[in-house]
Structure 1
Amino acid sequence: MPVLLVLTVVAGIGLILFQPWKAFTDTTVDEALPSASAPATNGGPAMQGEARVNGGEPSAQNTGPKDLATGRFVTHEHDTSGTARVVRLADGGRVLRFEDLKTSEGPDVRVYLSTRDDDAAKEGLGDGALELGKLKGNLGNQNYTVPAGTDLSRFHSAVIWCERFSVSFGAADLARIKS
């Protein structure tokens, strides 16, 4: 009897940690790119190459959504594909947007901006990585708010990272778009 009890407890802990059913499930998210109706009074620091006037507001020619950086996902521990974009919104806010994302589900999967490039992020996020939240779904289109005041020039890639097992599912280098 004690052996059966120990095996039951170990199996329960294994189920909680590994969540094996996620290997057979998918969560699809289809969010539109956020829009805003009025320009913000403080658009935060400009990304390198981003036109600013009057102490920080986007210039009139840049009041609509604008791609600041973009990249394609590469596979690390799980097959991952799709596009990552950093987009400045009309109100000056910024989002990290995943489009056509395809990856695996997993326990405690998060979205990060990393100071490392996509290849180096396979070994770890690097000092100063910025968590943007839990992965909303393993398939589809989704947005993650970049906190105001974030210096995007410090970050080189977007990473889908499993906290529980400290592994990268995949990453995308964020190549700056020239104005």
Structure 2
Amino acid sequence: MTLLRRPPVLIGLGVAAVLAVVALAVFQPWKLFVDRTVDEARPTAAAPAAPVTPAAAPAGPVAPAGPVELARGELISHEHASSGSVVVLELPDGSRVLRLEDLDTSDGPLLKVWLTDAPVIEGRDGWFVFDDGAHVDLGELRGNIGSSNYPIPAGTDLAALTSVSIWCERFSVSFAAAELVPTP
């Protein structure tokens, strides 16, 4: 009888195969070698309305023609080496957008963009603080390289949510984070 026909060996090979499939599904190691590049344009003003005749011109202040920068921050590395900027923009229609600019980080399983109330702490101490308090999930990270826009839900309190994290939901760790500093 050959070694491969023995029941304990067959069972061991079967268990090893199942564990390998589960490990690949959980850790997704290929993401360490594959980048997702995104290049979304910076949001602009909405299409202009029909021309207003002087007799019907509204009185009072005129809304800005383009987006207004409300806050800005620079990403610091946490679990993975990362760089880039974070900008919060208010569009002329009153909606707000969080923009990641020139992001460069590792890809990973279940990466999310979070607005949070947690402090941004450098080093290993800052890796795990973002799921301890309030946060707003802006959705899955669209790409680990480049620039992308994430709509901020109406009613989100930006005075209370003062930081951003690129959050790995699978392993509950921050890849990178930025403190949002209000723009004067």
Q: TM-score under structure 1 normalisation?
A: 0.84
CA contact (8 A) 2:142 2:148 kept: yes
- Residues 1:142 and 2:148 aligned together: yes
Aligned residues: 159
Q: Deviations over 1:98-157 (max 9, x none)?
A: 000000000000000010122175222132111000000000000000001111101111
Unpaired runs of 5+ residues, structure 2, are: 1-9, 50-60
CA contact (8 A) 1:114 1:157 kept: yes
Name the residue aligned to 2:38: 29
RMSD: 1.5
2:180 to 170, 174, 177: 174
Unpaired runs of 5+ residues, structure 1, are: 40-58
1:1-179 mapped onto 2 (5 Å cutoff): 1-35=10-44, 36-37=46-47, 60=62, 62-119=64-121, 121-125=126-130, 126-178=132-184
Q: By how many angstroms is 1:172 displaced?
A: 0.6
Q: TM-score under structure 2 normalisation?
A: 0.82
Name the residue aligned to 1:54: none
Q: Deviations over 1:22-46 (max 9, x none)?
A: 000000000012232269xxxxxxx
Q: By how many angstroms is 1:90 displaced?
A: 1.7
CA contact (8 A) 1:63 1:91 kept: no
Larger Cα Rg: Structure 1 or Structure 2? 2
**Structure 1 counterpart SS, 2:159:** helix
Provide the identity percentage: 47
Q: Could you tell me which amino acid in structure 1 is paired with residue 87 of structure 2? A: R
Q: Distance in 1 between matches of 2:145 and 2:92?
A: 26
Deviates more, 1:160-169 or 1:26-35: 26-35
Q: Deviations over 1:1-21 (max 9, x none)?
A: 000000000000000000000
**Structure 2 counterpart SS, 1:90:** coil
